Amino acid sequence: MARTKGTVFVALKSFVTRMYGYDAWKQYLAQLEVSDRRQIEMPSAKEWYDLGVMLRSLQILDVVFGKDSGDVVYDFGRHEADRDLNTLQRVFLRMANPAFVIEKATEYWRNFCDFGEWRVERNGKKTATAILLGVPVTDPVYCRELSGYLQRLFELVGAKNVHSEHTRCRSRGDAQCEWVGKWE
């Protein structure tokens, strides 16, 4: 069973209440399966949760607030990156090349997920490819959340005019998920 840390659900509650209000969090929870709702109603950042709960939660987020477009899940990924990188880390990381920062961020993946592995390839001074291997599920909503997270991570460490593209995706039949980031 693949698991993810509860920080994602703490960020999810923060995102929904900030963007849509506390009543919206109740509305959102009401759309979840009872077993999922019981787990994330009062999320704990320290606990581990089944990855399936996260995927279903993202799907419901997309349906309830995003009209099944993927946009709200992307925005949530950006919000999650904001929460994960505190101000002190941002200042320190702005002194490094964004590709280096992405490489270091991939080392922390196991603190939040007990599955998968990232590989980062530098394609020049202002381009990098991030490849996610070994994820036990394929879900376009999950990839959309990661796309928002990665885009925001580049911005938070000082990259300007960031363009990122999810060039390969397991949910589209590719062997792995891959994101290419370019910046100034």
% of the chain exceeding 90 in pLDDT: 65
Contacts of 150 (CB under 8 A, 6+ apart): 77, 81, 102, 130, 164, 179, 181
d(CA 101, CA 89): 11
Where is pLDDT greater, at 75 or 109? 75
pLDDT in tens, 77-105: 999 998 887 654 655 566 666 777 777 77
Phi-psi bin for 174: left (phi > 0), alpha (psi -120 to 50), beta?
Answer: beta
Evaluate if residue 70 carries a pLDDT over 70.
yes
> What is the Cα–Cα distance from 168 to 31, expressed in whole angstroms?
31
Sequence-distant (6+) residues with CB within 8 A of 11 are 76, 79, 80, 83, 84
pTM of the model: 0.90
Non-local (6+) Cβ contacts of 86 within 8 A are none
Phi, psi of 164 (to 5 degrees): -130, 145
Q: Give 19-68 pLDDT, tens digit per residue.
A: 999 999 999 999 999 999 999 999 999 999 999 999 999 999 999 998 87
Query: What pLDDT does 88 receive?
Result: 47
